[in-house]
Amino acid sequence: MEWAEPRTVGRVVIDFDPDWDHPMESVIRFHPERAVPFTVSDFQLENDTGEILAVVTGNYLARREVRLPEPVSLRRLTLRVLGTHGAYPVAVFGIGVYA
């Protein structure tokens, strides 16, 4: 995402697409997956100079909130997907950026 003017960012909420057509069965039933395959497991957020602001590993949530240690001012925010729980391609429904 890119803005004409710098924005102060302290919190980012990402809505991933975990492929809602592939639900996890009940914990009572056996299934081979510990997480939905299309869910993004590892990702990082970068600012306009490529500096890494946050790294998340082992994610299994469809909606992930990332709070930065300190708010930062930037013009561009990049979400770099580093891995999934086994399936590609991945999709993002939305990204919310908050001061």
The residue behind tokens 């300190």 is 70
The residue behind tokens 């013009």 is 75
76-91 tens-digit pLDDT:
999 999 999 888 888 8
The three-class DSSP label of residue 73 is strand
pTM of structure:
0.85
Q: 15 is written with which tokens?
A: 């809505």
Give pLDDT, residue 14.
Answer: 97
* 68, 52 contact by CB (below 8 A): no
31-59 tens-digit pLDDT:
566 677 788 999 999 999 999 999 999 99
The class level of CATH for 2-98 reads: mainly beta
Give pLDDT, residue 86.
Answer: 84
